[in-house]
Every structure is written in structure tokens, then in C-alpha cells.
């Protein structure tokens, strides 16, 4: 059977199938694939990019000149979107838990990631930028994510109080783990 390259045709709906098929992969192949996913163009990020493009917005990717190199940067609007993997960036969800094994390695590494995120976000705010964090686990609800992105990008700085929620320390504690 001839298979069409999936990435070209999936659109955004096929994401759950990807993780299902990952289970069937042999473990060595899976770790090779995971390594690739942790690289620059992770799957959740591609989903968000495609979604945002579909909504009619254009952006720069991995803007190196901005703190934290946001995954999507909207220069004219001074807005940025980060797409965070729950494990690597310590989301407050099941996937963001600190592993129980090899803790000497994982604890400083994952804490370091989290602190780096907070620092970059604080720097962005000082530069007058606003940002939205989208967590990997939230991509199950693409309609909600799509609405959040539209609202975030369409809102002007004056009526965006709901989005500056991300700027407050309390919310940082809620959204990601600090411990």
C-alpha cells in the first residue's frame, strides 16, 4: 500500500493517532523519534503554527532576538506564543510530574528549564511584549485553542486584561510547577 506522507495531509486532527502509533513503535525507534520531536520543529508546535496560519496570521518562528526565542512571534503586535511540552516545561498536569527515577539528573534539569521560561517571560514583559503559553496537553481541544489564539492576537493592549493573566506570578504558579 502506498502511503501519502502524513504530515502533508493530516491537518490538525490527526494528532491523537500519532501518539497511538507511537506505542506500536519499537523502543529504540521510539527514542530516535522522541529525540527528533524534542528538536526544533516539534509536533505540537507545528499544530499551533498551522492553526495560527489558518486563522490568517503571519509570524516568525524561533525568534532568536527575543527572550526565550518564542515559537511564534508577531512583531507588529508585540505578541508571542510559546508552545510548551508538559514534561520539559513542567506543566501542572499529569505529564509534567517530576520523574521518580534518575532524580539527580532530572530535578535540576527540569527546574532549570522552568526557571529559564519564567525569566524569559519576565524579560519579554519588560520589553512591552505580551505572550501566550499553549501547553501540549491542551492541544486535545483544538477549537478552544483556536479561540484563545484568535482572542489573544486580536485583542489590543488596552482591553487585554484577561491575557495579562499570564503575566502574573500567581498564574505562573498555577500554570507551571515551580517546586
Helices (H), 25-68: 27-37, 43-54
Angle at 27 between CA 22 and CA 29, to 5 degrees: 75
With CB under 5 A as the contact rule, which of the stretches 61-69, 102-110, 130-138, 147-155 interacts with Zn ion? 130-138
Query: Which residue, chain included where needed, has cell 482591553?
Result: 159
Mark 137-156 with x for binding to Zn ion (rule: CB under 5 A) and - for no binding. x-------------------
Angle, helix 43-54 to helix 142-154, in steps of 10 degrees: 60
User: How many binding residues for Zn ion (CB under 5 A)?
Assistant: 5
Residues 63-122 that bind Zn ion (CB under 5 A): 86, 91, 93
Helix, coil or strand: residue 66 = coil
Closest to Zn ion by CB, 63 or 137: 137
- Which residue among 133, 135, 153, 177 contacts Zn ion (CB under 5 A)? 135
What residues make contact with Zn ion under the rule CB under 5 A? 86, 91, 93, 135, 137
Amino acid at each position: 500500500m502506498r502511503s501519502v506522507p502524513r504530515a502533508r495531509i493530516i491537518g490538525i486532527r490527526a494528532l491523537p493517532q500519532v501518539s497511538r502509533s507511537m506505542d506500536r513503535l519499537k523502543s529504540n525507534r521510539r527514542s530516535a523519534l522522541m529525540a527528533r520531536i524534542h528538536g526544533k520543529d516539534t509536533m505540537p508546535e507545528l499544530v499551533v503554527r498551522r492553526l495560527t496560519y489558518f486563522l490568517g496570521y503571519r509570524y516568525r518562528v524561533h525568534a532568536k532576538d527575543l527572550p526565550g526565542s518564542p515559537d511564534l512571534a508577531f512583531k507588529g503586535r508585540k505578541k508571542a506564543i510559546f508552545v510548551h511540552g508538559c514534561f520539559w516545561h513542567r506543566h501542572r498536569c499529569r505529564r509534567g510530574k517530576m520523574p521518580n527515577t534518575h532524580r539527580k539528573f532530572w530535578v535540576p534539569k527540569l527546574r532549570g528549564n522552568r526557571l529559564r521560561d519564567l525569566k524569559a517571560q519576565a524579560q519579554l514583559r519588560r520589553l512591552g511584549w505580551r505572550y501566550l503559553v499553549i501547553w501540549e496537553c491542551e492541544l486535545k481541544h483544538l477549537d478552544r485553542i483556536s479561540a484563545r489564539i484568535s482572542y489573544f492576537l486580536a485583542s489590543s493592549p488596552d482591553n487585554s486584561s484577561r491575557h495579562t493573566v499570564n503575566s502574573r506570578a500567581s498564574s505562573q504558579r498555577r500554570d507551571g510547577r515551580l517546586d
